Amino acid sequence: MKLGPELRLQILEKVGIYSNRFSITEPEILLATKEVLDAPKEMTEGRRTSAYKYYGVSYIPHNLVFINVRKIPDEKTLENTIVHELIHMRFPYLAHGKRFNKLVRQGLRGKTFAPYKKRK
């Protein structure tokens, strides 16, 4: 997909809607690999130069998400990627797998999640 002002706004709106549904603070969104490389190194450490390989990357400790718009082929994949990355933000302890994929599907269908309570 080609990133323009209209698509950028559409993505930010979707992120806001899903963040609200998932009871998380809306993350900062990066939409181009240049934005990842321009971000402070400590924020994107670990997946800084490899981010371009993925549809999306969550930098959980910094409440930062990269959506690789150039790599994403269509609207459905874009929506799935947004929800996927925000599920990482909502459930930071959960790795990819059946449970994770189920939560992504539920998120895409409109499920809302209560705020995450950290254990003491």
| pLDDT at 28 exceeding the cut of 80 | yes
| pLDDT at 51 exceeding the cut of 80 | no
Cβ contact 74:1 at 8 Å = yes
pLDDT, position 53: 87
Residue 104: other Cβ atoms inside 10 A = 19
What CATH number was assigned to the domain covering residues 5-108?
Answer: 3.30.2010
Delimit the domains of the chain by residue range. 5-108
∠ at Cα 92 (9, 45), nearest 5°?
A: 75
Nearest to 88 by CA among 6, 37, 18: 18
| pLDDT at 83 exceeding the cut of 80 | yes
- pLDDT above 70 covers what percent of the chain? 98
Lowest pLDDT segment from 3-7, 47-51, 67-71, 91-95:
47-51
